[in-house]
Copies of this chain bind each other. A is one copy, B any other.
Amino acid sequence: MFEETVTSLAAADTTAGRPPLQTLLSDAHSGVLLFGITPPRQSASPDEVRQIAAVTIARLAPLDVDGLVLYDIDDESDRNLDERPFPYLPTMDPAVFQADYLAGWDRPVVVYRCVGKYPEADLRSWLSEADTHTVLSVFVGASSNQKAVHTGLPKAHALRQEVRPDLLVGGVAITERYVRSRDEHLRIVAKQVQGCAFFISQVIYDVDATKSLVSDYFYACLEQEVAPRPILFTLSVCGSLKTLAFLKWLGVGIPRWLENALRYAPDPLAESYDHCVVAARELSAFCRRLGMPFGFNVESVSIRKVEIEASVALAAQVHALLGRPP
């Protein structure tokens, strides 16, 4: 009991005067920092899930992030026929994990929704019940055109407008889709029109292409006379060649020079950590110069403890780099 009080006081102290995530994003502030995690496996017992939640909250408590991101993992085997470097294990519904296990987390949670997984009625009932003080969402479309979906992305946005317009919703921004089709910036503008107030990128290793996506998005907004919405850049360390293979399997574009640097590095985790810091610096400087609102989302795509700990250290360094007091 005493410990709980101390924790909340400490948390209140570090955020003194800082508006909540919803306000920061609505007002298109720069400097938002999130931390992303994958919910526990579906096979975990309630006790195990409670323990995972406690460990996670304890690990993130000193970080002063603006919110937590909970991914909604979809079996994307239809998207990539290559063997998955890590096996696909169904994970808990992030909305359930948030509602039933994260009461101890005192900041907002961005709940991802792969909308195609959910029948319209389920999505509707979740939307109507979500607590907008603690929950935001990111709607994600199907991972491929071939996939049968319960609810399409435009329908999901329409539902949100109808049922719960006060729930802040974002979308994903994908550098690799920009590289392939050169229209990702226009897709982002279109999602903004559908109601997205912010965007979270996929894991970024290709900083240069991401700058091009941001630049094209910024100038498309200028042309269409709409204000650009914040993009939060997702950074993840890569602690081993297996994680590198997994990043590539996920579709993360990695410039050859960086892939070579990781492959030949005596310590790939330290090497990738340094590159993430350089990426954060370069993207911050680029966005500031352009006048583009931005922030970061730090995660670990691997569940190895050493990589998770490096992600927490990275989030602390990005926090400092954003000019926020420690």
Contacts and interface: CB of A to CB of B under 8 A. Distances in A.
Interface of A: 206-209, 211-212, 214-216, 219, 255-257, 260-261, 264, 286
Contacts of A219: 260, 264
A211 B256 CA distance: 8
A57 B139 CA distance: 63
Contacts of A260: 215-216, 219
Contact of A255 (B208, B256, B257, B261): B208
Copies of this chain, count:
2
Given A209-B255, A215-B261, 7 more contacts: A208-B208, A208-B257, A211-B255, A215-B257, A215-B260, A219-B264, A257-B286
Q: Rank and list the top 9 A-B pairs by shortest CB-CB distance, nearest first.
A: A212-B256, A208-B208, A215-B257, A211-B257, A212-B257, A215-B260, A212-B255, A216-B256, A219-B260
Nearest to A208: B208
Report which residue of A209, A215, A264 has the largest number of chain B beta carbons within 10 angstroms of its beta carbon: A215
A59 B212 CA distance: 37
A326 to B, nearest CB: 29
8 contacts: A206-B208, A209-B255, A211-B255, A212-B256, A215-B256, A215-B261, A216-B257, A219-B260
